[in-house]
Amino acid sequence: MDYSNELFDTAKRYIPGGVNSPVRAFRSVNGTPFFTKKANGPYLYTVDGIQLIDFVCTWGPAIHGHNHPDIKQAITSALDKGTSFGTPNSYEVSMAKLLQKIVPSVEKVRMCNSGTEATMSAIRLARGYTRKNKVIKFAGCYHGHTDSLLVKAGSGALTLGNSDSAGIPQSLAEETIVLEYNDISSLEEVFKSYKEKIACVIIEPYPANCGLILPKENFLLKLRSITEQNQALLIFDEVMTGFRVSLGGAQEKEGIIPDLTAMGKIIGGGLPVGALGGKASIMDYLAPEGPVYQAGTLSGNPLALSAGITALQLLIDQNPYSLLEKLGRQISNALLDTANSKGIPLQVPQVGSMFALFFTENPVTNFTEATHSDTESFARFFNNNLKNGVYLPPSPYETCFISTAHSSSVIDQATDIMCRSLLSI
């Protein structure tokens, strides 16, 4: 990848680490990143002329694959009318109505430009609404790079080994209580010790930024009842799981209604969009209706929303979830069979079109267990795949995504490559 290497050398002179988001730098797989020239369907094409089957899907958003013709068309026709108005526009109304219909907890919704903005505003709103300060989060859950949530976070923060970022005042971090996912008894204890102080609990219902972790039976239900009993808001961060594990997200799949929901990724159809939705009585605490300030120069942007609305409409029309589940299972079963046949210790948690690999003997139910997996084996697995034309997330603590553009023949081909890559770690 000569041209990629050359671009990366130049990039490092002008951009910190050569990248605009840390995990893209390939540090946890002992490599240097390739540069992408274009993307189409299930494929990325590097500047070096190499075609890769893509299971990163731009870190989640591309559930329809890259450059879907309908989304492209929607952006093109919106573009004809202007790139940004700074006034209300009809796309915002269509999007809000769509989200109210699709996402069980959403009665009202505010659009923003990223998942980080959505979770940041959710926390402020929860504090403003409850007049309490403390926030509970779970180790390994990543909620974007907002100060009070960048404590024991997953994703890039995790692989860099500084789970607490420099630049976050201790006094602020102290307002965040971090618990182990799937552990109800510590949650109960914390609510006892900090009675009347906890504004909210924020959670990735299926943590997907430290590999992929699934909830134990009743964990999310108990979380819902404990928060309710203590008048603390329950915030589902569905930036990853929303529109991914089912149309209405993990909340629909699990039958649980959180008070607030943060959305992002798929909702923008590949353009920068985030959203915060929830009960009308809480959402009306946002300015200009209420006292909690939240704003955005480009929020509700017509290009971004036209892409997002079309992405959601495609999901409604195609209802691809059982097909995606089947493909997800095909891959995870094949990987597990191959690992078992060679005695390679491997876990492949999977839900719908999301799957991850942990090189460890025991099932992973929380962050601590996730960090006990063999990351060097993952790095070798990753690099074998890349050599053979399959691009996986360049970190052991990320999730792989399948899109509707991954046809069954592409999945067969990729599965074969992944199994061979596994045999030669």
Pairing mode, strands 43-46 and 36-40? antiparallel
Task: Spot the catalytic one: 132, 134, 265, 374.
Answer: 265
CA distance 350 to 325: 9
Task: Spot the catalytic one: 54, 181, 237, 374.
Answer: 237
Q: What is the spatial order of strands in the sheet that 354-355 belongs to?
A: 350-351, 354-355, 400-401
CA distance 284 to 292: 9
Task: Report the DSSP beta bridge partners of residue 347.
Answer: 358
- Is the bond preceding 42 in cis, omega lying within 30 degrees of 0? no
Binding site for ligand PLP (CB under 6 A): 114-116, 119, 142-144, 204, 209, 237, 239-240, 264, 274
Minimal distance, residue 346 CB to ligand PLP, in Å: 24
Minimum CB distance to ligand PLP smaller for 59 or for 382: 59
Q: What is the spatial order of strands in the sheet that 36-40 belongs to?
A: 36-40, 43-46, 51-54, 390-391
The DSSP letter of residue 36 is: E
Minimal distance, residue 64 CB to ligand PLP, in Å: 18
142 is catalytic: yes
CA distance 41 to 67: 6
* Residues 407 and 415: beta-carbon distance below 8 Å: no
CA distance 405 to 323: 12
Indicate the residue whose CB is closest to ligand PLP. Answer: 115
Minimum CB distance to ligand PLP smaller for 159 or for 338: 159
Minimal distance, residue 115 CB to ligand PLP, in Å: 2
265 is catalytic: yes
Minimum CB distance to ligand PLP smaller for 209 or for 306: 209
Task: Spot the catalytic one: 129, 142, 181, 391.
Answer: 142
Number of separate helices (H) and strands (E) present in the chain:
15, 14
Minimal distance, residue 253 CB to ligand PLP, in Å: 15
Place of tokens 């002992």: 30
Minimum CB distance to ligand PLP smaller for 142 or for 243: 142
Minimal distance, residue 308 CB to ligand PLP, in Å: 13
CA distance 157 to 142: 8
Minimal distance, residue 272 CB to ligand PLP, in Å: 7
Q: What is the largest CA-CA distance in the chain?
A: 61
Minimum CB distance to ligand PLP smaller for 135 or for 425: 135
Minimum CB distance to ligand PLP smaller for 121 or for 404: 121
* Residues 137 and 203: beta-carbon distance below 8 Å: yes
Q: Which residues are catalytic?
A: 142, 237, 265
